[in-house]
Structure 1
């Protein structure tokens, strides 16, 4: 089956169809690959970061396990298959248990601790070849998944805050323009018209005239 280069987190994407030649070494400036990371995967399943089949003593009924950047898939059963998957962001820890007989065979049980709604569930991947490698890869993938989920949560949180922010207060109204100054000569003219019309007395006319002239 054809294969595909699988760059670890932080590495640049490789050209389409490129595979590392024998003895190839990554650029020293790139971050180190997680322990056990598969640099080459089957092209038929490009999302797979790690996969394994449980190597039981009888060779029958071994589970099938597959890890992507978002999900851990596991299948168990001989006659009927029980297939499940868990989001990697919900994996909070991974460790290993290895009996003496398993150690002699180079396999072990990988215990995946999954955060459920109200409890922690332990998913056991049984008789996994190179179990330490599996633990390292699943742990690192889970860490990256939790980081992505946290970043997404923060993005939604700040977006929600912005949506509920009160509308910006309107800029304060500009102060009312000061009334145009009154022309004293116009006031005197109108005052004279009021006097001629008999609307003000001579005394009122004289008093108001003196007031207007005092402002000149």
Structure 2
């Protein structure tokens, strides 16, 4: 991804396209940069649907997060950077936790539940500004990605069936199997029960993990 120089307030402008070389330091006569200020930033990628940086109390060490239609990227670390990416179609649910001190600062933790091959993994995006908006767009993007993959699987399945084979109807008198319960619909209803105060946060979390474990 392309980068650009981001001078702090009060610094002189740099030539177009200039980037500070390794070891570069600002002139001591310039005003100090605000705490946590990035002097080099990434230009927005046209494929980016959402991006944010964790706003920690110290202003340093916040994670960097970016969402596209297919991947969720996140980076954490101060001395060394741990960069990872998650296929959006593997995201099964997203919710939010917000401590009182986070609420006063307008940030929160976004909890991303990822379906791995043999387990459900929890990825936490910490101190995300406007966390409810982040939850909404990640959930909607993941739902669209899962639907697209399901459509591809169904298309592949039917494309492999010879056209001359008849469609077999169920035998008379044999009851059809009950319709499968959609886990995402269960999670939606469970969320409504929590919002209505019918179930507690602890009951909600326990039931949600039970539903996700059956996927």
**TM-score normalized by the length of structure 1:** 0.55
Q: Distance in 1 between matches of 2:162 and 2:65?
A: 42
How far, CA to CA, are the matches of 1:44 and 1:122 in structure 2?
27
Is the partner of 1:93 in helix, strand or coil?
A: strand
Answer with 1 or 2: which has the greater Rg. Answer: 1
**Equivalent-residue separation in structure 2 for 1:121 and 1:44 (angstroms):** 29
Output the CA distance in 1 between the equivalents of 2:69 and 2:112. Answer: 16
Give 1:92's aligned residue.
92
Residue number in structure 2 paired with 1:148? 148
Give the drift of 1:161.
2.6
What RMSD over aligned residues (CA atoms) do the two structures have, in Å? 2.1
Q: Which residue of 2 aligns with 1:83?
A: 83
Q: Secondary structure at the match of 2:109?
A: strand
Distance 1:126 1:162 in 2: 51
Q: Tell me the SS of whatever aligns to 1:102.
A: helix
CA drift at 1:153: 0.6
- Within 5 Å, which residues of 2 pair with 1:15-26? none
Gaps in structure 2 of 5+ consecutive residues: 1-41, 166-215
Match of 2:114 in 1: 114
* Structure 1 residue ranges, 4+ long, deviating more than 6 angstroms after superposition: none
Q: Residues of 2 paired with 1:112 and 1:161: CA distance?
A: 37
Q: Could you give the per-residue CA deviations for residues 163-202 of structure 1, whole angstroms, max 9, x where no partner exists?
A: 9x7xxxxxxxxxxxxxxxxxxxxxxxxxxxxxxxxxxxxx
Count of paired positions: 125
Correspondence list, 1:126-165, <5 A: 126-162=126-162
Distance in 1, matches of 2:124 and 2:162, equals 43
- The equivalent of 2:45 in structure 1 is 45
For residues 55 and 83 of structure 1, the distance between their equivalents in structure 2, rounded to whole angstroms, comes to 18
